[in-house]
């Protein structure tokens, strides 16, 4: 089977969590594992987190675990306690060491699904679903594209900026497995000559990118840097990278703000980035036909803010 997999996935390590193995147990990710009736597969009914490991240190581990818990609560999916996820991650990292060494940079994806309909894996609701951690080296293509300028297009996400409040059943801000729309938007962008997308609400507010958070930079009259990101009340995902950058920027004396952000605000910003845990900070040099200035120096500062890893949890805007 292994020859069907790319090199990166062959060198990945996987850990399952279940009632019999609350601390996790290794499994071969290159062999079939899931029941075809698992609701994570047939309905995208599950939640996940993706995080970065550098030299064996997991970046923003607590913010990610807290956000996993938040997504699980919103979707009403029972998940194992935090200690189980921490132990599973350590087991995975240890397996890399046993195999001959930790890659310098790994991504870890934690996945929890609702499991098989009508057949809970355990009577204990914390273990009733399907749970695993997948650890894989960060692909060379991702490492090479880090910090490189990107062109984005603004696309309508199809719901209004108050949809999260009006329609809680949409579970807008949960990090669920249902990413088909986000992936389709990315394909649309690439087919039309862009690298990525920034979604707008139907009433014209800036939301987020399909897999990242929008960050704007400007300076006030005194020359103090001001970072602005769209308000979380629009139902966007509270980004752990944005939260980590805000925590470090605040310590550095920068000003911080949460939108509402309009497309005009975005284009008027001095600089714009897309942020996410593995990609880090990608400067935007074009929004549709509007050119934006890119600062290599400020991108490096944001990378440094991320490396400080100061945030205690995901951002809440309060």
- Residues found near ligand PLP in the complex (CB under 6 A): 50, 208, 211-213, 237, 239-241, 275-277
Measured N-to-C along each axis, helices 296-308 and 240-251 cross at an angle, to the nearest 10 degrees, of 100
The β-bridge partners of 119 are none
Q: At closest approach, how far in Å is the CB of 131 from ligand PLP? A: 19
Nearer to ligand PLP (CB atom), residue 50 or residue 111? 50
- Closest approach, Cβ 239 to ligand PLP, in A, equals 4
Q: In the complex, what is the shortest distance from the CB of residue 178 to ligand PLP, in angstroms, rounded to a whole number?
A: 11
Nearer to ligand PLP, 68 or 116 (CB): 68
The minimum distance between CB 12 and ligand PLP, in angstroms, equals: 18
CB of 51 to ligand PLP, least distance (A): 8
Cα–Cα distance for residue pair 72/84, rounded to 1 Å: 15
Question: Judged by CB, which is closer to ligand PLP: 17, or 52?
Answer: 52
Q: How many CB atoms lie within 10 A of CB 305?
A: 23
Q: Which is nearer to ligand PLP, 113 or 241 (CB)?
A: 241
Nearer to ligand PLP, 78 or 315 (CB): 315
Task: For residues 268 and 287, give the distance between their C-alpha atoms in angstroms, rounded to a whole number.
Answer: 11
């080296």: which residue's tokens?
137
What tokens were used for 254?
Answer: 């920068």
In the three-class reduction of DSSP (H, G, I as helix; E, B as strand; rest coil), residue 157 is classed as coil
**Strand extents, DSSP E, the chain:** 13-18, 21-27, 46-54, 57-58, 105-113, 130-137, 150-156, 196-200, 213-219, 225-229, 255-258, 271-276, 280-287, 290-291
């Amino acid at each position: 089977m292994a020859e069907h997999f790319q090199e990166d996935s062959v060198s990945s390590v996987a850990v399952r969590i279940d009632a019999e193995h609350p601390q996790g147990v290794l499994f071969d990710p290159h062999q079939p594992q899931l029941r075809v009736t698992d609701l994570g597969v047939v309905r995208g009914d599950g939640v996940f987190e993706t995080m970065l490991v550098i030299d064996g240190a997991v970046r923003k581990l607590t913010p990610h675990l807290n956000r996993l818990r938040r997504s699980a609560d919103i979707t009403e999916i029972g998940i194992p306690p935090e200690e189980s996820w921490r132990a599973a991650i350590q087991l995975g990292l240890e397996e890399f060491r046993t195999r001959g060494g930790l890659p310098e940079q790994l991504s870890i994806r934690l996945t929890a699904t609702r499991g098989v309909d009508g057949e809970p894996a355990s009577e204990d609701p914390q273990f009733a679903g399907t749970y695993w951690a997948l650890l894989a080296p960060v692909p060379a293509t991702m490492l090479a594209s880090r910090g490189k300028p990107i062109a984005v297009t603004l696309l309508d996400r199809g719901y209004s900026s108050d949809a999260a409040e009006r329609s809680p059943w949409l579970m807008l801000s949960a990090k669920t497995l249902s990413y088909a729309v986000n992936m389709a938007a990315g394909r649309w962008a690439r087919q039309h000559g862009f690298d990525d997308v920034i979604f707008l609400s139907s009433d014209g507010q800036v939301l987020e990118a399909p897999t990242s958070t929008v960050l704007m930079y400007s300076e006030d009259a005194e020359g103090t840097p001001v970072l602005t990101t769209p308000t979380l009340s629009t139902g966007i995902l509270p980004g752990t990278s944005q939260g980590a950058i805000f925590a470090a920027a605040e310590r550095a004396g920068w000003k911080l703000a949460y939108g509402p952000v309009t497309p005009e605000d975005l284009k008027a910003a001095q600089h714009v980035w897309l942020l996410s845990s593995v990609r880090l900070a990608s400067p935007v040099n074009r929004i549709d036909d509007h050119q934006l200035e890119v600062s290599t120096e400020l991108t490096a500062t944001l990378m440094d803010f991320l490396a400080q890893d100061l945030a205690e949890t995901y951002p809440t805007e309060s």
